[in-house]
Structure 1
């Protein structure tokens, strides 16, 4: 707590730093050089980092959704939802020349 009696809020950790710390934890665990107790502590820290990274990604996703609302208050695009991310649209394919439709392509 600060002298004014209010808790000092720490600035959010950048996502890149969270990922870098998580990669360090994974490397330590994979090295096999840690004791069981050290491995458990590293694993626990890794879980905290994963949760922190997910929180930062969710916050970024919410900010993006807010930016995609047009002037009239309508959604410009479908909102992003975890596990329901829109796939990139594939470029339309040109029909193959002189190719007969396969039996599976016949609608009846």
Structure 2
């Protein structure tokens, strides 16, 4: 049983704490991917790095989801008053309604050659 305790402590010591800030998560994930892509890791170290990468991806997704839930859009009602409304990720206004598109440029006529 003492061996199991030592192995458990060694595994926990080998696992670094997952960062709390999104930028730190991304930086550490990039480092982990770099180590994996180098091809210099043993199979066991590669598996540990992969597991760390999965933990970092999940943490990053969680941080992004939490941020999306806190974001609010500032809108105006019919009277021009500012109204705060929660961000709706699923129902975004179409991009075409925001600004009209310019007509696509036409190619010059074939007989209009500059040379």
- Name stretches of at least 5 consecutive residues in structure 1 with no aligned partner: 1-11, 98-108
Q: Could you list the per-position Cα deviations for residues 63-83 of structure 1 after superposition, in whole angstroms to 9, with x for gaps in the alignment?
A: 01xx2376x9x87476014xx
Q: Which has the higher strand share?
A: 2
1:79 aligns with 2:88: yes
Residue matched to 2:10: none
What is the alpha-carbon root mean square deviation over aligned residues? Answer: 3.5
Q: Could you list the per-position Cα deviations for residues 15-56 of structure 1 after superposition, in whole angstroms to 9, with x for gaps in the alignment?
A: 000000000000000000000000000000000000000000
Please, what TM-score do these two structures have when normalized by structure 1? 0.59
1:92 aligns with 2:100: yes
Residue matched to 2:80: none
- Name stretches of at least 5 consecutive residues in structure 2 with no aligned partner: 1-18, 78-82, 106-115
Greater C-alpha Rg:
2
Distance 2:52 2:104 in 1: 54
- How many residues align structurally? 81
Seen in structure 2, the aligned counterparts of structure 1 residues 16 and 94 have a Cα distance that, compared at 3 Å, is closer
